[in-house]
Amino acid sequence: MDFYSAYAQGFARVAAITLPVHLADPAANAAAVLEQARACHDEHVAVAVFPELCLTGYSVDDLFLQDTLLASVEEAIAEIVAASADLMSVLVIGAPLVQGNRVHNCAVVIHRGTVLGVAPKSYLPNYREFYERRWFAPGDDRELEWITVAGHDVRFGPDLLFRCLDVPGLDLHVEVCEDMWVPVPPSAEAALAGATVLANLSGSPITVARAEDRRLLVRSASARCSAAYVYAAAGQGESTTDLSWDGQTLVYEAGDLLGEGERFPDGPRRTVVDVDLDRLRQERLRQGTFDDNRRTHHERVQRFRTVGWELEPPAGDIGLLRKVDRFPFVPDDPERLELDCYEAYNIQVSGLERRLASIGTPKAVIGVSGGLDSTHALIVACKAMDRLGRPRSDVLAFTMPGFATGEASKSYATRLSQALGVTFEELDIRPAAEQMLKDMGHPFGRGEKVYDVTFENVQAGLRYDYLFRLANQRGGIVVGTGDLSELALGWCTYGVGDQMSHYTVNAGVPKTLVQHLIRWVISHGEFEPEVGDVLGDILRQEITPELIPIEEGVKPQATEDSVGPYNLQDFTLAHVVRLGMRPRRIAFLAWHAWKDLEAGEWPPGFPDDARVAYSLEDVRRWLEVFVKRFFANQFKRSALPNGPKVSAIGTMSPRGDWRMPSDARGTAWLAEIERDVPTA
C-alpha cells in the first residue's frame, strides 16, 4: 500500500477551468484547451472540466447553425482527441454537435486518445436573456443512443456514467448549465445510479447576485447527492453585446467548499482540488435514505449506462490539495466558531434546564476541581438555574482534595464558586481514601509509595460516591463533568466514578472544544466580570487528573502523557465516529494536518504558545493508543448516563450515534497500523 499517495488513500484530483474563448474559432479554442489539459496532466488531475461550448464560445448565436462552424468543431475535437493520447486527465469540453436533424449543446468526454461519450444538455433555457431553443434541441429524451464524433462511434445521452476502473469510487457524470437549475437535475438521478463526481459545464452570463445563486445550487447539489460537484463557467472572450461573463469556478464536496477560482480573471484559471471519494462512499453508507431514494426512482436510475476507463494514477507523494482541519470539532472561521459556540453552550444549558424542570426543583450537585471540564459544567449549571429563575445557591459545588490536589487548582475552584455565588463546600477525601486503601491491603495503606491505577481510582470513585450520597441527602442530582474525548478514550472511572452521573452535560463536547466554549462565555459576558477573570486563569492551566503526588525530580502527572495529545485524539475520534475512516487514512490526514506548524489556519483565539506540530511517528504512536483504548473501554460508554448530543460529528451514547459490543476487539485496526502506516 502506497501510504503517501493521495490516490491510494481514496482521493481524486479534479479541476474546474475557465479560459479566454475565441468566438467562432474552434481551432484556437482547441489550442487553449490543450494548453490547460497539459497543465492538468502535470498536476496529476484525474478530471478536468471546461466551460459550456468552450470550442466555439457560448455567445455566437445563429452561427451555431452554420456548417462551417460545425465542421470546424469536428476538426477541433479530433485534434484534442489525438493530443490527449499521452495525457492522464479526462477532459470534459463543451461543443455543439449534430445528432439526427438537430444541433445539441454537448459535453464531450475525452481520455487518452478516445472519446468516452457525449452528454447533451437536457434542459434549454428560453427565458429572459436566454434563447437556446432557437439553435439547440433538448437532450433529455436521447437515452440509449450513439453518435459519431471525430470518427468515433460513442454513446450519446444524459444517461452516461464514466467509471474509473483503477480508482475505486471515481464515477463521473456530466450535465450542462441549466440542467443544474431544474427541480430534478440529471445529476441527482446519476448520483442515485452511483456517480460521485458531478460535472457542470456552464455558460451562465453574470448579473448581480447570480454568483451567490450558483454557490447555493452547487453546494446544495453536492450536499443532497453526497457527491463532489465541479462547476466551470464561461468568462473572458465571450460577447459583451448584451451580457457580461465572470468565469466562476467552484468545487463543493458534500456541502463543503473545496475551492473557488478568481472571478473576472484576465487569462485562464484552474481550480484544482482533491476530492475525498472515501468520504462520499461512507456518507452514502450511513445515510440509508439515500439508497431508499434510489428505489423510489428505480425505473429511471436503472437506465444509466456505464463507460469504463482507466486513469493509471501516479504513485508516491503528490501532496494533498485540500484543507484538512487540525481540529474537526473547532472551525477556523471566526463567524462559524462564534455560532458553533453559541449553539453548543445553549444546547448544554437547555438540556440541563429541561432535565431539572422535568424532575421538579432538584439542586444541581457538582464536583469542581478547577480544571476545564468541571469549570464548564459548573457555568452551564449556573446558567440553567438563571434561566429557570432559581438562585445559583441551588448549585451545590464541592471541591474534594485528594493526595495530589494542587493549591492552584483548588484555589481556582474556590474562587470560581465564590464569584458565581453557588453553595460551595470543601470535603477532604484523604481520610476515607486512606482507610479504604488500608482495608483493601493496598501497599499505600502500609506507608509504601505505590501509585497504581487502584490508588487513582479509589480517589476518583470516592469523589462520586460522596456526590451521589450528597445528592440523596440534599435533594439534588449529580451533574457529570466528563467530556466526549474522555469517554472515547475511557479516561474515566467506571460506575461510582466520573463515568457516571444523573445527567452529563459535557458528554457531547470534545476536549478541544471546551476551551473555546469557555472563551466564548468570557467574551460574551455571560457572567459577571470577576467570573470571567477566573475563567481566563483556568484556561491557562495544563490538563492533569491530580491523582498521583508530586515527587521531587519527577514530572507531575499529565493526562496527555497517558492518553496522548487531545489535538490528535480528537482528530482521530471525528474521523472514526463520523466518517468510519480506516487507520491508514486517518494517519495520512493527521500527518498532513499537523506536520507543519506554520501551514494552514488555527482557530481564532488559539494561543501561540500552544501551537505544536506532530511527526508521522507521533501520529502513528498515538493512533495505536487511541485504537487500543477505544476498543477496551466500550463497556463504559454502553452504560453512559443521559446527556445532550452537541456536535453533528457525533456522540458516544449507545442510544444515539454509537453502538458497539463491549467485547469487540481492535485487532484488524491495529494490524493495519502495523502494516500500512510508516513511522517516518
Rounded distance between C-alpha atoms, residue 57 and residue 184, angstroms: 27
Extended strands (E) in 46-138:
47-49, 90-99, 102-111, 114-120
Binding residue per annotation — 501?
Answer: no
In sequence order, which residues have a C-beta less than 8 Å from that of residue 119 and are 6 or more positions away?
Answer: 106, 107, 109, 139, 157, 158, 160, 173, 174, 175, 176
Helix locations, 324-371, DSSP H: 334-359
Rounded distance between C-alpha atoms, residue 304 and residue 38, angstroms: 31
Classify strands 269-276 and 256-260 as parallel, antiparallel or unpaired: unpaired
Binding residue per annotation — 406?
Answer: no
Binding residue per annotation — 68?
Answer: no
Residue positions annotated with a catalytic role? 52, 121, 177
Rounded distance between C-alpha atoms, residue 393 and residue 537, angstroms: 23
Backbone angles phi, psi at 239, to 5 degrees: -65, 135
Q: Hey, CA dihedral for 382, 508, 640, 355, is it positive or negative?
A: positive
3-state secondary structure at position 313: coil
Cell 464515477 belongs to residue: 171
Rounded distance between C-alpha atoms, residue 363 and residue 345, angstroms: 20
In sequence order, which residues have a C-beta less than 8 Å from that of residue 161 and are 6 or more positions away?
Answer: 171, 172, 173, 190, 193, 194, 195, 304, 305, 306, 307
Binding residue per annotation — 476?
Answer: no
Residue of 588, 579, 576 whose CA lies nearest to 669:
576
Residue of 459, 455, 462 whose CA lies nearest to 496:
462
| Bridge partners, residue 257, by sequence | 252
Binding residue per annotation — 372?
Answer: yes
Classify strands 363-367 and 152-156 as parallel, antiparallel or unpaired: unpaired
Task: Tell me the residue type at 83.
Answer: A
Binding residue per annotation — 492?
Answer: yes
Binding residue per annotation — 369?
Answer: yes
Binding residue per annotation — 493?
Answer: yes
Start-to-end CA span in the chain (Å)? 15
**Which long-range CB contacts under 8 A does 62-71 form with residues at least 24 apart?**
62/134, 62/135, 63/24, 64/96, 64/103, 64/135, 64/136, 65/103, 65/135, 69/24, 69/26, 69/96, 70/96, 70/97, 70/98, 70/103
C-alpha cell at 130: 436566454
Four-CA torsion 234, 236, 238, 242, nearest 10 degrees? 100
3-state secondary structure at position 231: strand
C-alpha cell at 273: 482540488
Binding residue per annotation — 567?
Answer: no
Binding residue per annotation — 618?
Answer: no
Binding residue per annotation — 636?
Answer: yes
Residue of 519, 564, 525, 570 whose CA lies nearest to 543:
564
Binding residue per annotation — 595?
Answer: no
In sequence order, which residues have a C-beta less than 8 Å from that of residue 444 and are 6 or more positions away?
Answer: 434, 437, 450, 451, 455
Rounded distance between C-alpha atoms, residue 190 and residue 404, angstroms: 62
Binding residue per annotation — 667?
Answer: no
Binding residue per annotation — 262?
Answer: no
Cα angle value 45/50/55 (rounded, 5°): 130
Binding residue per annotation — 491?
Answer: yes
| Bridge partners, residue 49, by sequence | 16, 92
Binding residue per annotation — 622?
Answer: no
Binding residue per annotation — 373?
Answer: yes
Contact of 388 with 356, CB cutoff 8 Å:
yes
Binding residue per annotation — 479?
Answer: no
Rounded distance between C-alpha atoms, residue 548 and residue 557, angstroms: 7
Classify strands 363-367 and 47-49 as parallel, antiparallel or unpaired: unpaired
Binding residue per annotation — 115?
Answer: no
Can you say which residues are annotated as belonging to the binding site for L-glutamine?
Answer: 127, 204, 210
Task: Provide the annotated binding site.
Answer: 127, 204, 210, 367-374, 457, 481, 486, 491-494, 636
Binding-site positions for deamido-NAD(+) = 457, 486, 491-494, 636
User: Residue ranges for the binding site for ATP?
Assistant: 367-374, 481
